[in-house]
Amino acid sequence: MQDKPFDVPETQPDGTPLKPITQVLLERRATNHFTDEAVPDEVLDAILKLGAQAPSGYNLQPWRFVVVRDAENRKRLQAAAFGQPKVAEAPVVIIALGMKEEWQARADEVFKEGAERGAGNPDAWQQAKDGALQFLNGMQQMDVWVNRHTMIALTTMMLVAEAYGFDTAPMEGFNPAAVKEAFDIPAEAEVVALLAIGRGASPEKAYPGRFPLERIVYSERYGEAWKE
Ligand SMILES: Cc1cc2nc3c(=O)[nH]c(=O)nc-3n(C[C@H](O)[C@H](O)[C@H](O)COP(=O)(O)O)c2cc1C
């Protein structure tokens, strides 16, 4: 067991145990309406810190997050999100950004720190970094690359929020140019998604159903029936 890099609350704010992962995954719903109950700072801090532990290619962490809590700013974000009511209702909305270029300036730091922490060869971190840069410079679609990583971090935040008993709403319904303009976001950023966090207002949203595994999982090769 490695040292924990930081502490987070080990219970929900009212002292109830954190929800186990199976309950998180089965009870989570994309929530349409929120009450104005605040998300405590220590819970938000845990959501962000734990979300930032998500994996990324070469550990380059090409994500950035703008946390919007101010009511006026949530209204401005709502206007850039086709007026979706949950953006103004939820006490916290996270704008998830994927940075298509900025990771290059951090590559040295990432590879050096990994090697110093024992996660890479301390005598060869520069070669490892050169290999990564070669791979990534051949990447045609950096928007796809940043989306891939940023969604893992944002999804982790969504599930952590649920574990602390809060409700969430991931969103793709926004105008990226308008979001960028309203929040001073640099040109190289891809606005990947929004995530509203708070307490869902009743009535609870119903489970909309999912395809059974035989419709979406294949065995060994595409099209080969999956047998449980
Ligand atoms: C990336 C992503 C973007 C989404 N965008 C929106 C959105 O803009 N507005 C909305 O009302 N729901 C949005 N949803 C919610 C989905 O409609 C919802 O997750 C889906 O219908 C399944 O419902 P459930 O999450 O409650 O199981 C989005 C979900 C995801 C994962």
> For residue 43, what pLDDT is reported?
98
Q: Whose CA is nearest to atom 10 of ligand 1?
A: 171
- Cβ atoms of 146 and 100 within 8 Å: the answer is yes
Lowest mean pLDDT among 83-97, 111-125, 180-194: 111-125
Find, among 115, 139, 162, the residue nearest to 62 by Cα.
139
The whole-number pLDDT of residue 122 equals: 85
Looking at ligand 1, which atom is closest to the CA of residue 171?
5
Top CATH class of 36-100+141-198 equals alpha beta
Q: pTM to 2 decimals?
A: 0.96
Asked if residues 90 and 197 have their Cβ atoms less than 8 Å apart, the reply is yes
State residue 4's pLDDT score.
77
Q: Which atom of ligand 1 is nearest to the CA of 31?
A: 26
> Residue 58: what residue type?
Y
pLDDT at position 61 over 80: yes
Q: Is the pLDDT of residue 1 over 70?
A: no
Alpha helices in 80-197 (DSSP H): 85-89, 103-116, 125-137, 142-163, 176-182
pLDDT at 228: 73
Q: Is the pLDDT of residue 99 over 90?
A: yes
User: What residue ranges line ligand 1, CB within 6 angstroms?
Assistant: 29-30, 84, 170-173, 193, 205, 208
Residue 5 Cα to ligand 1 middle (Å):
32
Check residue 47 and give its pLDDT: 98
How far is the centre of ligand 1, averaged over its atoms, from the C-alpha of 170 (Å)? 6
Per DSSP (E only), the strands in 29-180 are 63-68, 92-99, 167-171
Q: Which residue ranges make up each domain of the chain?
A: 36-100+141-198
List the beta bridge partners of residue 167.
198
- At residue 107 the predicted structure's pLDDT band, cuts being 50, 70 and 90, is very high
